[in-house]
Amino acid sequence: MRSLYIDSLKEGLADLLTNDDRIYLLGEDITEPYGGSFKVTKSLSTKFPGRLLATPMSEQGITGFAVGMALGGLKPIVEIMFGDFLTLTLDQLLNHASKFVGLYNAKMHLVVRTPMGGHRGYGATHSQSIERLVFGIPNIDVVAPSILHSPGHLLNESIEKGGIVVFIENKLDYARNLLPSDESENILSIRKQQDSFPLAISEIIDSGESPDVVMIAYGGAVPFVLEAQKELFMEDEIAIKLISPSRIDTIDTQEILKETGSCSIIYIAEEGITNFGWGEHVATLLRESGYKGIIGRIGSKNEVIGASEEEENRVLLTSNKIKEGIHELLGC
Protein backbone atom coordinates (compact mmCIF):
# COMPACT_ATOMS: atom_id res chain seq x y z
CA MET A 1 0.00 0.00 0.00
CA ARG A 2 1.38 3.38 -0.97
CA SER A 3 1.80 6.19 1.50
CA LEU A 4 0.98 9.84 1.04
CA TYR A 5 3.62 12.56 1.02
CA ILE A 6 1.99 14.14 4.10
CA ASP A 7 1.92 10.81 5.97
CA SER A 8 5.64 10.36 5.38
CA LEU A 9 6.27 13.77 6.95
CA LYS A 10 3.99 12.99 9.90
CA GLU A 11 5.72 9.68 10.51
CA GLY A 12 9.13 11.33 10.24
CA LEU A 13 8.21 13.99 12.80
CA ALA A 14 6.70 11.39 15.15
CA ASP A 15 9.85 9.25 14.94
CA LEU A 16 12.05 12.24 15.73
CA LEU A 17 9.91 13.26 18.70
CA THR A 18 9.90 9.67 19.99
CA ASN A 19 13.62 9.06 19.70
CA ASP A 20 15.13 12.41 20.73
CA ASP A 21 13.79 14.55 23.57
CA ARG A 22 15.73 17.54 22.20
CA ILE A 23 13.35 17.78 19.23
CA TYR A 24 10.76 20.57 19.46
CA LEU A 25 8.32 21.76 16.82
CA LEU A 26 7.43 25.46 16.54
CA GLY A 27 4.91 27.27 14.37
CA GLU A 28 1.59 29.04 14.03
CA ASP A 29 -1.45 26.88 14.87
CA ILE A 30 0.56 23.64 14.83
CA THR A 31 -1.12 22.25 17.97
CA GLU A 32 -4.60 20.74 18.29
CA PRO A 33 -7.20 21.18 16.99
CA TYR A 34 -5.62 22.72 13.90
CA GLY A 35 -2.37 20.87 13.25
CA GLY A 36 -0.89 23.50 10.95
CA SER A 37 -2.19 24.98 7.71
CA PHE A 38 -1.83 21.67 5.86
CA LYS A 39 -2.33 19.34 8.87
CA VAL A 40 1.22 18.00 8.88
CA THR A 41 1.39 18.17 12.70
CA LYS A 42 -2.19 16.99 13.29
CA SER A 43 -2.47 14.96 16.56
CA LEU A 44 1.23 15.27 17.38
CA SER A 45 0.66 17.76 20.22
CA THR A 46 -1.64 15.22 21.88
CA LYS A 47 0.87 12.39 21.51
CA PHE A 48 3.84 14.54 22.59
CA PRO A 49 2.60 17.07 25.17
CA GLY A 50 4.84 20.10 25.62
CA ARG A 51 6.96 19.35 22.54
CA LEU A 52 4.92 21.39 20.04
CA LEU A 53 4.92 25.12 20.65
CA ALA A 54 2.14 27.20 19.06
CA THR A 55 3.62 30.61 18.40
CA PRO A 56 2.39 34.13 17.71
CA MET A 57 2.10 35.24 14.08
CA SER A 58 5.68 36.45 13.73
CA GLU A 59 7.90 34.45 11.38
CA GLN A 60 10.95 36.46 12.38
CA GLY A 61 10.21 35.88 16.05
CA ILE A 62 9.60 32.15 15.58
CA THR A 63 12.86 31.72 13.71
CA GLY A 64 14.85 33.83 16.17
CA PHE A 65 13.46 31.81 19.08
CA ALA A 66 14.41 28.58 17.29
CA VAL A 67 17.94 29.84 16.62
CA GLY A 68 18.35 30.46 20.34
CA MET A 69 17.03 26.98 21.14
CA ALA A 70 19.47 25.45 18.66
CA LEU A 71 22.39 27.37 20.17
CA GLY A 72 21.33 25.96 23.55
CA GLY A 73 21.61 22.37 22.35
CA LEU A 74 17.99 21.66 21.37
CA LYS A 75 16.89 20.57 17.89
CA PRO A 76 14.01 22.82 16.82
CA ILE A 77 11.98 22.25 13.66
CA VAL A 78 10.13 25.39 12.57
CA GLU A 79 7.01 25.40 10.40
CA ILE A 80 6.50 28.56 8.34
CA MET A 81 2.86 28.48 7.29
CA PHE A 82 3.42 29.52 3.65
CA GLY A 83 6.69 29.67 1.75
CA ASP A 84 5.93 33.24 0.70
CA PHE A 85 6.64 34.26 4.31
CA LEU A 86 10.16 32.82 4.19
CA THR A 87 11.16 36.42 3.46
CA LEU A 88 10.31 37.31 7.07
CA THR A 89 12.78 34.74 8.41
CA LEU A 90 15.75 35.94 6.39
CA ASP A 91 17.22 38.35 8.91
CA GLN A 92 17.44 35.58 11.50
CA LEU A 93 18.79 33.04 9.00
CA LEU A 94 21.15 35.28 7.03
CA ASN A 95 22.42 37.71 9.66
CA HIS A 96 22.23 35.55 12.77
CA ALA A 97 22.17 31.75 12.37
CA SER A 98 24.51 31.66 9.36
CA LYS A 99 26.95 34.03 11.03
CA PHE A 100 26.94 32.20 14.37
CA VAL A 101 28.14 29.09 12.53
CA GLY A 102 30.64 30.91 10.32
CA LEU A 103 32.15 33.32 12.86
CA TYR A 104 31.96 31.38 16.10
CA ASN A 105 31.84 27.75 14.89
CA ALA A 106 28.50 27.36 16.65
CA LYS A 107 27.06 23.86 16.59
CA MET A 108 23.34 23.72 15.95
CA HIS A 109 20.58 21.53 14.60
CA LEU A 110 17.88 23.69 13.02
CA VAL A 111 15.33 22.93 10.30
CA VAL A 112 12.88 25.44 8.84
CA ARG A 113 10.02 23.70 6.97
CA THR A 114 7.77 25.56 4.57
CA PRO A 115 5.48 24.75 1.60
CA MET A 116 5.97 26.41 -1.79
CA GLY A 117 3.99 26.31 -5.02
CA GLY A 118 0.72 27.39 -6.57
CA HIS A 119 -2.23 25.81 -8.41
CA ARG A 120 -4.32 26.04 -5.23
CA GLY A 121 -6.09 29.32 -6.02
CA TYR A 122 -4.46 31.12 -3.08
CA GLY A 123 -3.46 34.20 -5.05
CA ALA A 124 -0.43 36.42 -5.33
CA THR A 125 0.94 36.27 -1.78
CA HIS A 126 0.42 32.55 -1.05
CA SER A 127 1.41 30.81 -4.31
CA GLN A 128 5.05 31.67 -4.97
CA SER A 129 8.14 29.45 -5.14
CA ILE A 130 10.89 31.67 -3.72
CA GLU A 131 13.40 29.16 -2.34
CA ARG A 132 16.06 30.75 -4.56
CA LEU A 133 16.26 33.55 -1.95
CA VAL A 134 18.21 31.25 0.39
CA PHE A 135 20.49 29.71 -2.23
CA GLY A 136 24.07 30.74 -1.66
CA ILE A 137 23.75 31.77 1.99
CA PRO A 138 26.79 30.33 3.80
CA ASN A 139 26.09 27.42 6.16
CA ILE A 140 22.47 26.96 5.01
CA ASP A 141 21.45 23.82 3.11
CA VAL A 142 18.25 23.58 1.09
CA VAL A 143 16.41 20.25 0.79
CA ALA A 144 13.32 19.71 -1.39
CA PRO A 145 11.75 16.23 -1.40
CA SER A 146 9.58 15.19 -4.32
CA ILE A 147 7.07 12.34 -4.56
CA LEU A 148 9.98 10.20 -5.79
CA HIS A 149 11.68 10.56 -2.40
CA SER A 150 10.78 9.81 1.20
CA PRO A 151 10.05 13.24 2.75
CA GLY A 152 10.03 11.88 6.29
CA HIS A 153 13.42 10.22 5.85
CA LEU A 154 14.90 13.38 4.33
CA LEU A 155 13.51 15.43 7.22
CA ASN A 156 15.17 13.05 9.67
CA GLU A 157 18.46 13.34 7.79
CA SER A 158 18.16 17.13 7.73
CA ILE A 159 17.84 17.55 11.49
CA GLU A 160 20.26 14.81 12.48
CA LYS A 161 23.14 15.84 10.22
CA GLY A 162 23.50 19.13 12.05
CA GLY A 163 23.65 22.67 10.74
CA ILE A 164 20.85 24.80 9.29
CA VAL A 165 18.43 23.38 6.72
CA VAL A 166 15.60 25.09 4.87
CA PHE A 167 13.23 22.23 4.00
CA ILE A 168 11.03 22.97 0.98
CA GLU A 169 7.72 21.11 0.77
CA ASN A 170 4.92 21.53 -1.78
CA LYS A 171 1.25 22.30 -1.22
CA LEU A 172 -0.07 19.98 -3.93
CA ASP A 173 2.30 17.16 -3.01
CA TYR A 174 0.84 16.77 0.49
CA ALA A 175 -2.13 14.85 -0.94
CA ARG A 176 -0.13 12.88 -3.52
CA ASN A 177 1.03 9.29 -3.27
CA LEU A 178 4.74 8.66 -3.04
CA LEU A 179 6.05 6.62 -5.95
CA PRO A 180 8.12 3.73 -4.60
CA SER A 181 11.65 3.26 -5.83
CA ASP A 182 12.89 0.12 -7.54
CA GLU A 183 9.40 -0.56 -8.91
CA SER A 184 7.49 0.08 -12.10
CA GLU A 185 4.86 2.82 -12.27
CA ASN A 186 2.82 2.18 -15.43
CA ILE A 187 5.38 2.74 -18.19
CA LEU A 188 7.97 4.25 -15.83
CA SER A 189 10.84 2.63 -13.99
CA ILE A 190 11.67 4.49 -10.78
CA ARG A 191 14.83 4.12 -8.76
CA LYS A 192 16.61 6.06 -6.07
CA GLN A 193 20.28 6.21 -5.24
CA GLN A 194 21.28 4.96 -1.82
CA ASP A 195 23.34 8.01 -0.91
CA SER A 196 22.47 10.60 1.70
CA PHE A 197 20.08 13.14 0.09
CA PRO A 198 19.82 10.97 -3.03
CA LEU A 199 18.99 11.60 -6.65
CA ALA A 200 15.77 9.90 -7.78
CA ILE A 201 15.46 8.69 -11.36
CA SER A 202 12.36 8.06 -13.50
CA GLU A 203 12.77 6.62 -16.98
CA ILE A 204 10.68 4.92 -19.62
CA ILE A 205 10.76 1.12 -19.43
CA ASP A 206 12.46 -0.52 -22.45
CA SER A 207 12.87 2.76 -24.32
CA GLY A 208 16.36 2.05 -25.59
CA GLU A 209 19.85 2.85 -24.42
CA SER A 210 19.62 6.65 -24.51
CA PRO A 211 16.59 8.87 -23.89
CA ASP A 212 15.62 11.62 -26.31
CA VAL A 213 15.75 14.21 -23.54
CA VAL A 214 17.03 14.22 -19.96
CA MET A 215 15.01 16.42 -17.61
CA ILE A 216 16.21 17.74 -14.25
CA ALA A 217 13.59 18.89 -11.73
CA TYR A 218 13.02 18.97 -7.99
CA GLY A 219 10.17 19.14 -5.48
CA GLY A 220 6.79 20.31 -6.77
CA ALA A 221 7.94 20.45 -10.41
CA VAL A 222 8.39 16.67 -10.50
CA PRO A 223 4.69 15.65 -10.87
CA PHE A 224 4.35 17.97 -13.88
CA VAL A 225 7.40 16.36 -15.46
CA LEU A 226 6.11 12.83 -14.72
CA GLU A 227 2.80 13.62 -16.40
CA ALA A 228 4.58 15.04 -19.44
CA GLN A 229 6.97 12.10 -19.47
CA LYS A 230 4.13 9.57 -19.74
CA GLU A 231 2.10 11.54 -22.28
CA LEU A 232 5.05 12.31 -24.56
CA PHE A 233 5.94 8.62 -24.79
CA MET A 234 2.36 7.43 -25.27
CA GLU A 235 1.48 10.11 -27.82
CA ASP A 236 4.77 10.72 -29.65
CA GLU A 237 7.16 7.92 -28.58
CA ILE A 238 9.48 10.55 -27.08
CA ALA A 239 11.51 9.03 -24.24
CA ILE A 240 12.27 11.31 -21.30
CA LYS A 241 14.56 10.48 -18.40
CA LEU A 242 13.95 12.48 -15.22
CA ILE A 243 16.66 13.18 -12.66
CA SER A 244 15.38 14.66 -9.40
CA PRO A 245 17.83 15.85 -6.73
CA SER A 246 16.66 16.10 -3.12
CA ARG A 247 19.26 18.61 -1.97
CA ILE A 248 19.14 21.64 -4.24
CA ASP A 249 21.65 24.17 -2.89
CA THR A 250 24.46 22.04 -4.26
CA ILE A 251 24.43 19.90 -7.40
CA ASP A 252 26.55 16.83 -8.16
CA THR A 253 27.02 17.55 -11.85
CA GLN A 254 29.28 14.56 -12.40
CA GLU A 255 26.57 12.20 -11.16
CA ILE A 256 23.98 13.98 -13.32
CA LEU A 257 26.24 13.72 -16.38
CA LYS A 258 26.81 10.05 -15.62
CA GLU A 259 23.04 9.50 -15.64
CA THR A 260 22.71 11.67 -18.78
CA GLY A 261 25.13 9.50 -20.73
CA SER A 262 25.14 10.23 -24.47
CA CYS A 263 21.86 12.19 -24.48
CA SER A 264 22.39 15.49 -26.30
CA ILE A 265 19.49 17.48 -24.77
CA ILE A 266 18.97 18.46 -21.13
CA TYR A 267 15.81 20.31 -20.09
CA ILE A 268 15.65 21.84 -16.60
CA ALA A 269 12.28 22.52 -14.95
CA GLU A 270 11.44 24.47 -11.79
CA GLU A 271 8.31 25.99 -10.27
CA GLY A 272 10.07 29.27 -9.56
CA ILE A 273 10.77 31.90 -12.18
CA THR A 274 13.61 31.23 -14.60
CA ASN A 275 15.16 34.72 -14.22
CA PHE A 276 18.22 34.28 -11.99
CA GLY A 277 16.76 30.92 -10.93
CA TRP A 278 17.86 27.43 -9.97
CA GLY A 279 17.78 26.14 -13.54
CA GLU A 280 20.06 28.90 -14.73
CA HIS A 281 22.63 27.96 -12.10
CA VAL A 282 22.40 24.24 -12.89
CA ALA A 283 22.84 24.97 -16.60
CA THR A 284 25.98 26.98 -15.84
CA LEU A 285 27.41 24.17 -13.70
CA LEU A 286 26.73 21.62 -16.44
CA ARG A 287 28.54 23.77 -19.01
CA GLU A 288 31.47 24.25 -16.64
CA SER A 289 31.56 20.47 -16.15
CA GLY A 290 31.98 19.95 -19.89
CA TYR A 291 28.49 19.17 -21.18
CA LYS A 292 28.36 20.10 -24.89
CA GLY A 293 24.74 19.35 -25.73
CA ILE A 294 21.64 21.56 -25.82
CA ILE A 295 20.37 22.89 -22.48
CA GLY A 296 16.84 24.28 -22.17
CA ARG A 297 15.07 25.74 -19.14
CA ILE A 298 11.45 26.17 -18.15
CA GLY A 299 9.69 27.60 -15.11
CA SER A 300 7.04 30.10 -14.14
CA LYS A 301 6.69 33.51 -15.73
CA ASN A 302 8.15 36.51 -13.93
CA GLU A 303 4.68 37.89 -13.18
CA VAL A 304 2.35 38.23 -10.21
CA ILE A 305 0.26 35.06 -9.78
CA GLY A 306 -3.50 35.54 -10.03
CA ALA A 307 -5.96 33.47 -8.02
CA SER A 308 -8.04 32.10 -10.91
CA GLU A 309 -7.23 28.75 -12.48
CA GLU A 310 -6.81 30.46 -15.83
CA GLU A 311 -4.26 32.93 -14.44
CA GLU A 312 -2.39 30.23 -12.53
CA ASN A 313 -2.09 28.08 -15.65
CA ARG A 314 -0.93 31.10 -17.65
CA VAL A 315 1.82 32.08 -15.20
CA LEU A 316 2.88 28.86 -13.46
CA LEU A 317 4.63 25.72 -14.66
CA THR A 318 2.32 23.07 -16.19
CA SER A 319 2.82 19.70 -17.86
CA ASN A 320 1.47 21.07 -21.15
CA LYS A 321 4.12 23.80 -21.16
CA ILE A 322 6.78 21.16 -20.57
CA LYS A 323 5.48 19.12 -23.51
CA GLU A 324 5.50 22.18 -25.76
CA GLY A 325 9.07 22.95 -24.70
CA ILE A 326 10.20 19.39 -25.45
CA HIS A 327 8.63 19.51 -28.91
CA GLU A 328 10.40 22.79 -29.59
CA LEU A 329 13.78 21.44 -28.47
CA LEU A 330 13.34 18.37 -30.67
CA GLY A 331 12.01 20.41 -33.59
CA CYS A 332 8.81 18.42 -33.88
pLDDT of 272 higher than 70 = yes
pLDDT of 195 higher than 90 = no
Helix (H, G, I), strand (E, B) or coil at 83: helix
pLDDT of 182 higher than 60 = no
pLDDT band at 208 (very low <50, low <70, confident <90, very high): confident
Write the secondary structure of 140-197 as one string of H (helix), E (strand) and C (coil).
EEEECCCCCCCHHHHHHHHHHCCEEEEEEEECCHHHCECCCCCEEECCEEEEECCCCC
- Asked if 27 and 97 sit in the same domain, the reply is yes
Where is the domain boundary, 150, 175, 200?
175
Cβ distance 214 to 263 under 8 Å? yes
> Structural domain tally of the chain?
2
The range of the structural domain enclosing residue 136 comes to 5-175
Q: What is the mean pLDDT of residues 48-74?
A: 97
pLDDT band at 183 (very low <50, low <70, confident <90, very high): low
pLDDT (tens digit per residue) in 303-328: 999 999 999 999 999 999 999 999 99
Quick one: pLDDT at residue 184?
A: 58
42-46, 209-213, 299-303: least confident range = 209-213
- Asked if 139 and 217 sit in the same domain, the reply is no
Which stretch of DSSP H or E encloses residue 202? strand 200-204
Where is the domain boundary, 159, 175, 191?
175
- Asked if 207 and 279 sit in the same domain, the reply is yes
- Asked if 78 and 200 sit in the same domain, the reply is no
pLDDT of 219 higher than 60 = yes
pLDDT band at 187 (very low <50, low <70, confident <90, very high): confident
Quick one: pLDDT at residue 205?
A: 87
- Asked if 251 and 321 sit in the same domain, the reply is yes
CATH code for position 64: 3.40.50.970
For the whole model, what pTM was predicted?
0.96
pLDDT of 63 higher than 90 = yes
Quick one: pLDDT at residue 1?
A: 56
Where is the domain boundary, 120, 144, 175?
175
Quick one: pLDDT at residue 194?
A: 73
